[in-house]
Amino acid sequence: MGLDGVELVMAVEERFAITISDEEATSIRTVGDLEHLVTTKVAVTDKASCLTQRAFHLLRRSAIACFGVNRREFKLDSAIDAFVPRHERRQEWVRFQKCVGALLWPQLVRPREITVLLSVMTMAVASLVWWYTAAVLNWGTVLQVLLSFAVAVAFGWGAAFLTRPLRTTVPQGYGQVREMAYYLVARNPQLLGTNHTAWSPDEIWCSLRDVIIEQTAVTGFNRNSRFVQDLRID
């Protein structure tokens, strides 16, 4: 198992307070396999409940109270962007969190175009420094690497700091109402009247999904997704 796989297993162990042996880890092929393994290692409640449905109703009540959303238009597959006003999005996003009562909440990010542009600019600056130190100053390779790296880090940090007001996009993996419901189940179970003396199937799936997104930045997966072929985790 590669480093990515080891880190994912460790994150799952920490989230569910379980231990997964090397032999068990090597037998995991799909997301569903991992879900089943977790289910065998935690106390599972027999109480029938649908926590994602509770989370959905909480989100809908909060969206109606905060933004005057039409009840009929708020559906599981609806985009969060459609309900949270774009004007003063950062303040409105915090207000939505307070309406929901969530202690943990996804942080807004910069639009993808801005992130790509900043990355390109950082690489361009580093390349320019590399060229200048080599062609003009005739510095050695070690000094070129050190200075280019230092300038790239400084430029990247400065650009990230200055573009904080541009963080107005709901992060990938939480853009739909359904995905935000999963997030509430995974990160804010206290809002839904649950505790972790026993895990419901909803809690296991939502928490596992949350760990995978956090560790891999991959969002478009299901229980049949294969870790190596689909999620690119070795």
Under DSSP, the state recorded for 137 is: S
Compute the distance between CA of residue 188 and CA of residue 123 in angstroms, rounded to an integer.
39
Helix (H, G, I), strand (E, B) or coil at 226: strand
* Range with the poorest average pLDDT among 26-30, 174-178, 195-199: 195-199
Q: What is the pLDDT of residue 113?
A: 93
Are 120 and 155 members of one domain?
yes
Are 140 and 228 members of one domain?
no
Host domain of residue 75: 51-106+173-192
Are 93 and 178 members of one domain?
yes
Compute the distance between CA of residue 175 and CA of residue 212 in angstroms, rounded to an integer.
16
Angle at 56 between CA 106 and CA 191, to 5 degrees: 70
pLDDT interval class at 143 (50, 70, 90): confident
pTM for this structure?
0.84
Q: What is the pLDDT of residue 46?
A: 66
Q: What is the pLDDT of residue 43?
A: 87
- The pLDDT of 191-201, averaged and rounded, is 79
Are 87 and 130 members of one domain?
no
* Range with the poorest average pLDDT among 54-68, 132-146, 156-170, 211-225: 132-146
Q: Read off the amino acid at residue 218.
A: V
- The pLDDT of 122-140, averaged and rounded, is 89
Residue length, the chain?
A: 234
Are 117 and 157 members of one domain?
yes
Q: Read off the amino acid at residue 13.
A: E
Q: What is the pLDDT of residue 194?
A: 73
Q: What is the pLDDT of residue 9?
A: 93
Q: How far is CA 175 from CA 88, 107, 151, 158, 210, in A?
A: 18, 12, 34, 28, 14
Are 93 and 177 members of one domain?
yes
Are 94 and 210 members of one domain?
no
* Range with the poorest average pLDDT among 91-105, 109-123, 183-197, 212-226: 183-197
Are 224 and 127 members of one domain?
no
pLDDT digits (tens, 9 = 90+) for 32-88: 999 999 999 998 876 656 888 999 999 999 999 999 999 999 999 999 999 999 889
Are 182 and 217 members of one domain?
no
Percentage, residues of the chain above pLDDT 90: 70
Are 228 and 116 members of one domain?
no
Pair of tokens at residue 72: 């009929």
Q: Which helix (H) or strand (E) holds 213?
A: helix 201-216
Angle at 94 between CA 187 and CA 114, to 5 degrees: 95
Compute the distance between CA of residue 168 and CA of residue 84 in angstroms, rounded to an integer.
10
Are 221 and 130 members of one domain?
no
Are 34 and 139 members of one domain?
no
- Average pLDDT of the chain? 91
Number of domain units in the chain:
3
Residue 52: Cβ within 10 Å count = 19
Compute the distance between CA of residue 167 and CA of residue 134 in angstroms, rounded to an integer.
37
Residues 6+ apart with CB under 8 A from 51: 185, 189, 192, 194, 200, 202, 203, 206
Q: Are 94 and 84 in contact (CB under 8 A)?
A: no
